[in-house]
Chains A and B, each alone.
Chain A
Amino acid sequence: MIIDINFVGLIVASIMASAVPLILASCGELITERSGVLNLGVEGMMIIGAISGFALMTVTGSLIIAVFGAMFAGVLISTIFAFLTQTLITNHVATGLALTIFGIGISAMIGKNFVGIPGKEFPVLFEGLKDTIPLLSPILFGHSIVFYFAFALPFITSYFLKKTKIGLIVRAVGDSPESASNQGINVKFVRYACILYGGAMCGLAGAYLSMIYTPQWIENMTGGRGWIALALVVFSTWNPIKILIGAMIFGGLTIIQFHMQAIGVRIPVQFLTALPYIVTIIVLVVISRDSRKIRLSTPSSLGKSFHKDN
């Protein structure tokens, strides 16, 4: 069997493309969790981003407005979460669930008039270089700007957390809000900021799905990617670089489905579709088995409310 080397390149590129929304959402959620906040509303924020991006693109015709609008929509919806968990000190888990239910409902409500409308073509970069290098060309060139941003994001996030002062503050707030507060850091403000940032990234992840990956609006089109993104954060043990690896594995599982069917492997399609979820569970088990390691890398105050008495 002769394997076309460019075909391999194309497969890798398609795996990377399906990893993009996971990377964006996970990196956003990672910052939120590093500040000590567990936001289970990732799925809801992503779907809001997906419909906002698609609706704005259809109505205004501007891709830039649509992309930034989707991020802004993510920020808006996460403001609800921030206000509830930080100002009204509600339970993180319950509030995040409410956010997801609300997000799925309201996105379907807005999206009613956008079903069946074809999307727009999203411009790609470096298209002229597509045939220059065998194998590498399809991987490196001819993708949207969001694609490149997603693959840079884990490195930026890692640098931000490790090397910058603000990153240090975020980590301090997540690991010990009491001492951070005693140092004069406004814990609530930092957490608000991290939640809104997470919202923006989830909004962008959603917009990527509805505008670039499958350019159309389908109800519930995130299909559990938000939850896989949450699992990826645990998988990465809160290390942004590992998110990249995890997202590639899950992207690979998604892409494998199509190719297995194409070459006629006789496995029920439902089993292949279930694979990413099953693998997520297995990976979580393997990662969490060592409870000491998990405890060392988990932000100590994750999911716990912080309230300073006046």
Chain B
Amino acid sequence: MIKIVKRDQPSRAIFFLTPVLAIFLTLLAGGLIFYILGFKPFEALKFFFIVPIADMYGFSELLLKATPLCLIAIGLSFCFKSNNWNIGAEGQLTFGAIVSGGVALLFYEQEGFYILPIVILAGAIGGMLYASIPAILKTYFNTNEILVSLMLVYVSKLILDYLVVGPWSNPEGFNFPETRQFSDSARLPLLFEGLRIHAGIFLALAAVVISWFVFYKTYLGFQMKVSGFSLKTAKYAGYKGKKMIVLVFLISGACAGLAGVGEITGPIGQLHREVSPDYGFTAIIVAFLGRLHPVGIIFASLVVAITYLGAETAQIFMQIPKYTGQVFQGMILFFLLASDYLLFFKFKFIGSKK
């Protein structure tokens, strides 16, 4: 007989093992879905998860996709750790891209070492500005940050659309919805000849290191953790709750904005309608899958980035619709949340009595 028993305290080993279990279950379920759709499950999974990263170019693409995911997820982990539900990173990314793109366009056809730092800074500030809206409305008007940050995603995409179709569109661009190409000084340098991976990856790595330091070595990190566990305790301890809410939103906005900079000044080199294939939403999954831990987030961003590449490869080689990527992302989060049950409960095998 099997009995479900509550654990005395959450198991730490299981805390880091369940993400692996969740990935495994997602693969199983994914195979099943492929089977139902009439594909050979093993072949489909191979095209989805192995073929895309089998060569150097594929690996570079993996890092290219993992970079914004990691960067945004690191920022979100500040919010989620302190119980702030910023789900509008996609909007903060877009607005960061708009601001940095606008600055880059100001330097059209100009050269200079100072241009790129200004463009990057502009992106971070853009993201922070946009994230400050839900933060300030939450702290001073008690407004639900989930809904506000999400509504702003739609607004940011419409602002971008307006700009690239209207005032910022390329005058020589035959009315394509895109801006002029940025000058080379406003572009993040590529790391290797022939590959698309760019210097933005260092921004992500810096964010990982800084966040690790803040989480585990500073008083602020401790305060965030306490507020995440119990707001009452935090209040009792005299933490300035409002300031912290604004701060974590600004941090995550800056990270999302930087991810936006990476997208437009790296591979794209101009602003156009779609600067991000929903990285901002997917990064929420990355943050959870990485257990809100900086190192965990690195691994999680690589795993989730494969779903983007796999969806493209599977579409080309097997005509599997590309949305399978999102289905996989949703499933990973489902299974991860479900396997959290094992954190608090365990199965006890009781021998039948004779």
Contacts and interface: CB of A to CB of B under 8 A. Distances in A.
Same complex for A and B? Answer yes
Interface of A: 40, 80, 84, 88-91, 93-95, 97-99, 101-106, 108-109, 112, 224, 227, 230-231, 234, 268, 270-271, 273-274, 277-278, 280-281, 284-285, 288-289, 291, 294, 309
A84 B147 contact: no
Interface string B328-346: 1111011001101100100
Contacts, number: 128
A280 B147 contact: yes
Nearest to B156: A274
Contacts of A84: 334, 337-338
Contacts of A108: 321, 323, 326
B191 interface: no
B266 to A, nearest CB: 25
B85 interface: yes
Nearest to B163: A270
Interface string B146-167: 1110111011001101100110
Which 3 pairs, one residue from A and one from B, show the smallest C-beta to C-beta distance?
A102-B330, A105-B326, A98-B333
A101 B326 contact: yes
Contacts of B281: 97, 101
B155 A101 contact: no
Contacts of A291: 142
Given A98-B285, A105-B325, 4 more contacts: A99-B330, A106-B323, A224-B151, A288-B144
B218 to A, nearest CB: 26
A199 to B, nearest CB: 15
Interface string B236-249: 00000000000000
23 contacts: A80-B334, A88-B337, A88-B338, A94-B288, A97-B333, A98-B330, A101-B281, A101-B333, A109-B321, A109-B323, A112-B323, A234-B144, A268-B162, A270-B158, A270-B161, A270-B165, A273-B158, A278-B151, A284-B137, A284-B147, A284-B148, A288-B141, A288-B143
Nearest to B137: A285
A196 to B, nearest CB: 17
Give the dominant DSSP class at B's interface.
helix
Contacts of A112: 321, 323
Contacts of A284: 137, 143-144, 147-148
Interface of B: 6, 85, 87, 133, 137, 141-144, 146-148, 150-152, 154-155, 158-159, 161-162, 165-166, 281-282, 284-285, 288, 321, 323-331, 333-334, 337-338, 340-341, 344
Nearest to B324: A109
Contacts of B152: 277, 281
B341 A281 contact: no
A224 B154 contact: yes
Contacts of B344: 89
Contacts of B133: 281
B337 A98 contact: yes
A261 to B, nearest CB: 15
A14 to B, nearest CB: 22
Nearest to B6: A309
B162 A271 contact: yes
A99 B292 CA distance: 20
A209 B333 CA distance: 28
